[in-house]
Amino acid sequence: MANIASTTASAGTEVTARALREAVFAGLVTLGLFVLFVGLKTDQNIRNELVLTQRWGLLATFVIVAMVGRFLMVAYAQPWLAQRKAAKAAAPEVVKEEGFFSRNFSKIAIVALILYPPVILALTGVQGSLKWVDNFGIQILIYVMLAWGLNIVVGLAGLLDLGYVAFYAVGAYSYALLSSYFGLSFWVLLPVAGLLSACWGMILGFPVLRLRGDYLAIVTLAFGEIIRLVLINWTEVTKGTFGVSGIAKATLFGIKFDASKDGFAALMGLPISSAYYKIFLFYLILGLCMITAFVTIRLRRMPVGRAWEALREDEIACRSLGINTTTTKLTAFATGAMFGGFAGSFFAVRQGFVSPESFVFLESAVILAIVVLGGMGSLTGIAIAAIVMIGGTEILRELTFLKVVFGPNFTPELYRMLIFGLAMVIVMVWKPRGFVGSREPTAFLRERKAVSGSFTKEGHG
């Protein structure tokens, strides 16, 4: 016992001695490197002459930082890492039993989402709940739905679509225009908007059938811009940049959400507040999201879904197996676009106002970023990515304490794109295949084993 203690003690002193040696060495290297860069500085004096300023204090700081860093690295960090590695190697291969939480993740998530509005209502009161239900709940769920729709095109079929926002716009304007010109209700126009978007998905699909990769991306990008420019310039119908306002609200089985005598609040005996309409919208978009998820999961287990994934893996092999790649691509575009259209008409009904400004390329980029960040093809990963990205940017508005640090003129939401980009880089370095990189097989004989992301392809688009 004493023997072991003495050997570890001697090993400890040995490490410390080595760390000291290396620290001195690192200090010398730093001194050599920085003596001319940092230690000496040339300046112009008042007579435009060059003078040499000496900054020995700064140089000493550099050297000390390097020495201390090296010492800590060798004396503590490296032994700790080695120990951890050894412990990991020594530990027997444990078959990780998935915990209750990860096994039932999607069920727990759905229950949590259903309980979200009442809980918020209880916590923050009727008026306080507005922000949490609308800005966080509805906003995130819209992006979840859009990203799940795009996931069919990009994640499953492997066709890179940079103009997805066009279908979102088609859906929004379908509802806005048809309801204001013909007075049709939301429930009639929701499927109509989906169908119209699907049609536009096909129309986009036809010219890009033979394109691959970068070419496909460019043409879809152009398509998105065309739709936006048409919306801006076809002023007689779309009112151009002014947008369409005063769009009719959705109703619950004919019950209106307004202050009238037979409105929802009056019928339920509740105080009049716009919060109830927002909660209704929350459940509406939650329902739409569930439909999207259900259809996607079902389709993946059907021949058409498998054909999409096979198309992503190898198009030529697909054709050699008798799969019509033309119709397969078109169905992918149409299905993805349809969900975009649903989300668009929901967006119109929520805002009560649509203008071409909501459908810029940046939106497409954000949706695509969510799909890529979440892990292409994985619904759970994409939902998490949407919460992180959209919830994160909304949270920025709440960070008022930063004003104390950076001064009263600091507005954190202006740094949205900077943080967005930084977060993407970090996630892509840490998890190159997104949050959920593995793929769930659609059929199995004995056990369902997730396919590692290193085998799946990104597709040719």
Partner 1 sequence: MAPETSTMTNDPILKVEHLSMRFGGLMAINDFSFEARRGDITALIGPNGAGKTTVFNCITGFYKPTMGMITMRQRSGKEYLLERLPDFEITKQARVARTFQNIRMFSGMTVLENLLVAQHNKLMLASGYTFLGLFGFPAYRQASKEAIELAKHWLERASLIDRADDPAGDLPYGAQRRLEIARAMCTEPELLCLDEPAAGLNPRESHSLNELLQSIRRDTGTSILLIEHDMSVVMGISDHVVVLEYGQKISDGNPDFVKSDPRVIAAYLGVEDEEVEEVIEQIEEIEGEQGGTKQ
Nearer to partner 1 by C-beta: 66 or 332? 332
Residues 166 and 204: beta-carbon distance below 8 Å: yes
Q: Which two tokens stand for residue 192?
A: 């109509």
**CB-CB contact of 331 with 191 (8 Å):** no
Residues in binding contact with partner 1, number by CB under 8 A: 40
Task: Give me the least distance between CB of 156 and partner 1, in Å please.
Answer: 11
Q: Which is nearer to partner 1, 84 or 449 (CB)?
A: 449
**In this chain, which of 65, 77, 425, 451 binds partner 1, going by CB under 8 A?**
451
Residue among 15 and 199 whose Cβ is closer to partner 1: 199
CB of 298 to partner 1, least distance (A): 6
Give whichever of 203 and 295 is closer to partner 1, judged by the CB atom. Answer: 295
Q: How far apart are CB 299 and partner 1 at their closest, in Å? A: 7
The rounded distance, in Å, linking the Cα atoms of 361 and 342 is: 19
**Residue 166 interacts with partner 1 (CB under 8 A): yes or no:** no
If one asks whether residue 323 binds partner 1 (CB under 8 A), the answer comes out as: yes
Q: Which of 225, 313, 394, 413 binds partner 1 (CB under 8 A)?
A: 313
Name which of 93 and 447 has its Cβ closer to partner 1. 447
Stretch that binds partner 1, among 111-119, 232-240, 310-318, 359-367 (CB under 8 A): 310-318
Question: Interface with partner 1 includes 103 (CB under 8 A)?
Answer: no
Task: Report yes or no: 250 and 189 within 8 Å, Cβ to Cβ.
Answer: no
Which residues have a Cβ under 8 Å from the Cβ of 211 and sit 6 or more positions away? 219
User: Cβ(160)–Cβ(213) under 8 Å?
Assistant: yes
Helix/strand/coil percent split, the chain, to 5: 75, 5, 25
SS3 of residue 310 by DSSP: helix
Q: Pattern 23-62, binding to partner 1, x per CB under 8 A?
A: ----------------------------------------
Give ∠ CA 427-411-349 in degrees, rounded to 5.
75
**Contact of 156 with 305, CB cutoff 8 Å:** yes
DSSP string, 272-286: P-THHHHHHHHHHHH
Which is closer to partner 1, CB of 5 or CB of 443?
A: 443
In eight-state DSSP terms, residue 43 is: E
- Closest CB 309 distance from partner 1, rounded Å: 6
Between 314 and 413, CB nearer to partner 1: 314
Q: CA nearest 439: which of 448, 429, 447, 430?
A: 448
Question: Nearer to partner 1 by C-beta: 37 or 206?
Answer: 206
Q: How far is the CB of 29 from partner 1 (least distance, A)?
A: 46
Q: How far apart are CA 357 and CA 233, in angstroms?
A: 13
Q: How many CB atoms lie within 10 A of CB 343?
A: 31
| Interior/surface letters 93-110, b for 16+ CB within 10 angstroms, e for the rest | eeeeeeeeeeeeeeeeee
- Report, in Å, the least distance between residue 96 CB and partner 1: 18
161 versus 309: smaller Cβ distance to partner 1: 309
Closest by CA to 147, choosing from 371, 366, 309, is: 371
Binding flag, residue 153, partner 1 (CB under 8 A)? no
Q: Within positions 288 to 307, which residues make up the interface with partner 1, using CB under 8 A?
A: 295, 298-299, 301-304, 306-307
Min separation Cβ 12 and partner 1, Å = 45
Whole-number minimum distance, CB 267 to partner 1, in Å? 34
Beta strands in 241-393 (DSSP E): 244-245, 353-354
Of the pair 212, 249, the CB lying nearest partner 1 is at 212
Is residue 156 within 8 Å of 312, Cβ to Cβ? yes
Query: C-beta of 157: minimal distance to partner 1 in Å?
Result: 13
324 touches partner 1 by CB under 8 A: yes
String of contacts with partner 1 for each residue 421-450, x by CB under 8 A = ------------------x-xxxxxxxxx-
Question: By C-alpha distance, which of 338, 348, 295, 339 is closest to 186?
Answer: 348
Segment interacting with partner 1 (CB under 8 A) among 2-10, 68-76, 321-329, 364-372? 321-329
Using the rule CB under 8 A, is 317 a contact of partner 1?
Answer: yes
Strand partners, 44: 50
Element (H, E) at 54: strand 50-54
- Point out which residues bind partner 1 (CB under 8 A): 295, 298-299, 301-304, 306-307, 309-310, 312-314, 316-325, 331, 439, 441-449, 451-452, 455-457
